[in-house]
Structure 1
Amino acid sequence: MHSAVHKKIKLGFYIAFTIMVGAAISSYLIAINLTNNAIRLNRSIEISKRLEVIHAELKEAQAAIACFSITRDSNFLHPSLQERITGIENQYRQLHHLTAKDTAQQHHLDTLKDLLYTKYTQLLLNTRTDTLKGKSQVNYLINKDSGRIESKIRDMEYRENQQLAEKSALFNFFSSLWLPVIFVTSLLAIIICVYAFVLLNKEYRLQLHIDDRLKQYQHELQQHITLLATSNQELEQFAYVASHDLQEPLRKIATFSDRLQGKYGPLLPTDGLELLGRMHSAVSRMRILINDLLAFSRAGRLSPANFSQVDFNQILQEVKSDLELAIQEKNVSIHCDHLPTLSGQATALHQLFFNLLSNAIKFAAPNRPLAVNITCKIVRGRDLQNLMKNLSPQEDYYSISVEDNGIGFEQEYAERIFLLFQRLHGVSEYAGTGIGLAICKKIVEGHQGAIQAFGTLGEGARFEILLPLKQSVYA
């Protein structure tokens, strides 16, 4: 998925998620408020109902006692005043529980309680008073306290009605707000989902197109791999021909020239002997060239999967043994640090050091003894990125430096000397085919490393080999 599309879908998802969370929180808060308002409405209705019951019970008790006082009929005292008082007290307790969180109503209830107790006393006295004067006094007090109780009940009902109106308004407000919030958030979520669907559908079609192109590229790549395999097979056949079929005519030419020189040499003039010598020299150079080409082709077929642990100190000792005569002839002094043991191909690494040392010996300065200094250190890949782009910044590398005090070269030719058949000197000055350093580069790159050259004309040259501490099998 493209990063821009991925960012858009990710942003859309975050927005949709935020809207959903906001809608959920809003719905929860609205639902909580609706529930609280509904509970408060029910409580207000219940309080008003209880107050009406208390008021009705007092009216009925007062009317029954008044009728009893007039008629002296005991039937008017059924149910008894005590039973009526018990019923009123039950209603009062329920009111006290319902208004537990309302301080103002609790104060009203305390006052109402005192008034009710006074009312109970007066009603009980009215049932026992026989004198007209006493009855008149009690009736006056009953009517007076009844007005106060009724006024207190009206105050409580007024407060409940006031709160009921407020809660009803809030209930209506949240009820009207709930549906628009749900509708708007749902609409936004649907729009975002449609937008994400369009993007995903577009990306899906693009992915199908990319898959088709990838299949086409894979098919082309497979064809190229087949061609490369065929080319490699042909190169293998060429290497076989070069190592056998081409060597055979050279051996015959060398044999015939030796016989011709041995048998007819005394009879040939000086020019003829010189031509035979040139032919023999050309055959030798051709043999060396064929062998170098074979070495170059083998250097390009290195595989990390077939590497083994190689002691570079042992490799260097073997190379010095192979070059012992040349070292003694030119009085070469070689100083070497302790070299590491790395994963690699022993034959190829032997060829690498052989070419570098023989190259140093070949280009020794004629006016001073040759000194070769080989040093080793560990460097970090990230420190080499500015110099060698093909090295991994996550890897650590051994830097093996081969430095001599020979004739050197100009630094502008530092890249050219690693090219195939590139020479800075003529064949008549220095022998060779111009393949040795190209083989070195192939070997080092086959070991996932790099090689670079530094030179100063007339002072010497230095070749720096960079090899990773650990070889990757899948490189």
Structure 2
Amino acid sequence: MHISVHRKIRIGFFVAFTILVAATICSYLIEQNLVANALHLNHTIQVSRKLEVITKQLKDAEAAIRGFDLTKDSTFLQPSMDERIKKINNEYKQLRTITRDNPSQQKNLDTLKVLLDIKYRQFKADHLKAPGQSAKISVNAGETYMTLIDRKVNDMVHIEEKITAEKSRLFHFFSSLWVPFIFIVSILAIFIGVYSYIVLTKEFRLQLYIEARMRNYQRELQENINLLHKYNQDLEQFAYVASHDLQEPLRKISTFSDRLIMKYGDNLPEDAQQLVNRMVAAVARMRILIQDLLVFSRSGRMTPDSMEQVDLGALLQEVLSDFEVSVEEKGIDITYTEMPTIEGSKSALQQLFQNLISNAIKFADPNRPLQVRISAETLTGQQTGIVKEELKDELFCRITVEDNGIGFEQAYAERIFLIFQRLHGVSEYQGTGIGLAICKKIISAHHGYISAYGYQGKGAVFVVMLPFKQTKDE
């Protein structure tokens, strides 16, 4: 299964982003563990130091009393026991504050407080006794409680060291994961970088190849367009020359036919006169056909210089003025709504209206007066539902030409726009079958659309869609 380059880039970005997030989370956890370990180590040091200070001050106080008891020197009692006890209590309070988040240490401190109070009472009792009185008993009692205090202090230090060891093990665990994780992340980063380089290099070369092929296609297309223009010009020139060359024998046939009728008309048998009349009619139809072919060959030829702002209302009035005689003689009712101004070729649009109206008059129902309704409305490309996606915001003029003539079967809606395609015989309705083909060609040259809707015996509707502004062909 082929994966597009955009999908590859999205997958690569997602993998890189996932690795980055994972590395960030891991780094954060290790950093938090390191900070917590450092804080607890500092906490352990503070607790140990406070306990060491309390133990030292107790031993100093006890040594001072023993020194005074042995030497009778009052300087050993400086500072006083109350001051020494006050300092020990200050250290104890700080120690209680430091270990407030540890219930087991708080419980040990409660026991230590009891032992300290007993030790305080011993200090004060030994301080008030006379020198040498019950010295041995006092020393034994002091050593007993001092031993208990040392044990409690050791218990507290042991708890702190145990917690510190657990923190250290966790830190070492994360540290042991960090090195291989960084190695794996680095390998993945290198792999993604190399893979991205290979993919982008491949796509870049493919893009260069496509651009080169596109330039070749554009050059070939331009050459074909130029060749097509040349062929079209040659074809138009051929059609023009051929039509003029055909006109000469037609004129001779017409002239000889007229002379034949004028000079020998009365002497010709009736069937011979009919043959001559049919020949004259055929010549007339041939002349009209050649003229229509000339018009068809020139109808789609548009140049930027021929494009201008065309007032369709004024243009329609000019076209209707050409049909005044037919309208009055046949009692035709032609109405139209307000028409906009659009960009286009005035002569081509004039021919478009002439052919559509002429088509409606030609196929009028003989059993009822002909009515022709011409209307226009402005739509966006999206509202039309038939234009390309890039033109959905452009403005279009929808022109509707509706009549109540003989109509046609909807199955022939596409066929009627083909050249020389007729739905009726020449004997029924005159014409060469080129008029609607010319309309189609004019609409296509204006980047528009035309469609027909027929209702047999009821009439026909022709819908023309023209852009308000012509796009320049490159």
The interval holding the TM-score normalised by the smaller chain is 0.7 to 0.9
- Between the aligned partners of 1:82 and 1:178, the Cα distance in structure 2 is 55
Query: 2:307–2:344: 8 Å Cα contact kept in structure 1?
Result: yes
Give the counterpart letter for 1:47 in structure 2: V
Give the counterpart letter for 2:429 in structure 1: Y
Query: 1:27–1:182: 8 Å Cα contact kept in structure 2?
Result: no
Provide the residue aligned with 2:436 in structure 1: 437
Q: Say which SS state the counterpart of residue 464 (structure 1) adopts.
A: strand
1:66 aligns with 2:66: yes
Give the counterpart letter for 1:21 in structure 2: V
Query: 2:408–2:460: 8 Å Cα contact kept in structure 1?
Result: no
Query: 1:382–1:393: 8 Å Cα contact kept in structure 2?
Result: yes
- Between the aligned partners of 1:72 and 1:390, the Cα distance in structure 2 is 117
In structure 2, the gaps of 5 or more residues are: none
Provide the residue aligned with 1:43 in structure 2: 43
Greater mean deviation of Cα atoms: 230-239 or 195-204: 230-239
Query: 1:449–1:468: 8 Å Cα contact kept in structure 2?
Result: yes
Residue 93 (structure 1) shift: 5.8
In structure 1, the gaps of 5 or more residues are: none
1:14 aligns with 2:29: no
Aligned residues: 467
CA root-mean-square deviation: 4.1
Query: 2:72–2:131: 8 Å Cα contact kept in structure 1?
Result: no
Query: 2:70–2:132: 8 Å Cα contact kept in structure 1?
Result: no
Change (3 A) 1:425 1:131: closer
Change (3 A) 1:124 1:423: same
Q: Say which SS state the counterpart of residue 4 (structure 2) adopts.
A: helix
Give the counterpart letter for 2:416 in structure 1: I
- Between the aligned partners of 1:172 and 1:253, the Cα distance in structure 2 is 111
Query: 1:421–1:433: 8 Å Cα contact kept in structure 2?
Result: yes
Residue 106 (structure 1) shift: 3.9
Provide the residue aligned with 1:446 in structure 2: 445
Residue 341 (structure 1) shift: 4.2
- Between the aligned partners of 2:262 and 2:167, the Cα distance in structure 1 is 137
Provide the residue aligned with 2:321 in structure 1: 321
Greater mean deviation of Cα atoms: 117-126 or 352-361: 117-126
Provide the residue aligned with 2:402 in structure 1: 403
Residue 26 (structure 1) shift: 1.9
1:277-314 Cα shifts (integer Å, max 9, x gaps)? 77876665555444433433443234689644444333
Name the TM-score, length of structure 1 as normaliser.
0.80
Provide the residue aligned with 1:422 in structure 2: 421
1:370 aligns with 2:370: yes
Residue 355 (structure 1) shift: 0.7
- Between the aligned partners of 1:225 and 1:304, the Cα distance in structure 2 is 17
Q: Say which SS state the counterpart of residue 471 (structure 2) adopts.
A: coil
Provide the residue aligned with 1:473 in structure 2: 471
Provide the residue aligned with 1:202 in structure 2: 202
- Between the aligned partners of 1:3 and 1:427, the Cα distance in structure 2 is 62
- Between the aligned partners of 2:306 and 2:76, the Cα distance in structure 1 is 120
Give the counterpart letter for 1:101 in structure 2: D
Give the counterpart letter for 1:351 in structure 2: Q
Give the counterpart letter for 1:9 in structure 2: I
Give the counterpart letter for 1:361 in structure 2: I
1:30 aligns with 2:23: no
Query: 2:449–2:466: 8 Å Cα contact kept in structure 1?
Result: no
Name the TM-score, length of structure 2 as normaliser.
0.80
Query: 1:16–1:189: 8 Å Cα contact kept in structure 2?
Result: yes
- Between the aligned partners of 1:449 and 1:32, the Cα distance in structure 2 is 71
Give the counterpart letter for 2:412 in structure 1: Y
Residue 42 (structure 1) shift: 3.1
Provide the residue aligned with 1:142 in structure 2: 142
Change (3 A) 1:378 1:156: same
Query: 2:443–2:466: 8 Å Cα contact kept in structure 1?
Result: no
1:433-462 Cα shifts (integer Å, max 9, x gaps)? 3211101112223333322223345x1541
Change (3 A) 1:449 1:229: closer
Change (3 A) 1:177 1:90: farther
Query: 1:374–1:403: 8 Å Cα contact kept in structure 2?
Result: yes
